[in-house]
Structure 1
């Protein structure tokens, strides 16, 4: 199995692209899309080199994920490749307990990997939430009989809504994840609806869930 474009976009979105070396939150010289192998401060690369490093690191992450014989969906595979790209094969082994945990148990543990240097980082909290949302997409998908289209059976949410389902939507938006659908979440929802060509209601209905999850 190979990482889909959705998976690659998830990695790119959270890694960002830097053509000049910088130090990550724990002080490791990094360049491109989170590439660290052989990187030294002062190093500069082209966009083509950044893309090549991305491909190299994704292949490495794919091999680590494929090591475990799970019946992955594409979304689950993509989510774990993103996780491994960021956290490393060693943490993937811990997450899966060397391939002995169930997929549901893995999903429940993804959010715990949100620290760097012992400190919880908002970027990692958001990334883990997005990976978990993608990993769990199969739970929200249903195929209509005789209709070849995906339907996301997620509860409609809007300003004032609260709970875990709001956290999933906030992860899709990339905003602060607090489980409360407030003014900022509504504003970002309207912005995403505009971007996706939907009516800007600020209400997350079935069409918005479907388009939003597919855009992650």
Structure 2
């Protein structure tokens, strides 16, 4: 029943804004109305938005805090083949091992399994008039990407993740590396490099 009410509300709002048929046109409604149904109101780790705006690059902030998406094949970690650990760029929680990364051809880093089952929270995402499963960091709530059920064996899962939401720690490195594989952070502004 709730699904029918949500769909009815979506159709009514969509038509009221002159967007035509919801199944054909991409909606112009705010993501707040159409986006993920996050049930968790607080996260174990939180940061003031002003701190995040200073610490993250504009692309990292847009992806992780505003549920943005980087363009396909533009992220610095998409083609990364180094051994190591992929972490949340916001809170450094370990998310994926390079052992589970694969080339999905999608243009975004793709993984078939998590380092720990509890490292990512998944929720329904109804943005753009379709149903997807959003993947967020379970510690800080940062938007990472989406989970699809078309990955390789043994899990059959494909975590399609934005490079801008990831940090990378090389297996042999002693310090964290930022998205794109560059060590540390930019000396000029202290922001993580893209």
TM-score (norm 2): 0.27
Quick check: which one's helix share is greater? 1
Q: Which has the higher contact order (CA 8 A, sep 6+)?
A: 2
TM-score (norm 1): 0.25
Quick check: which one's strand share is greater? 2
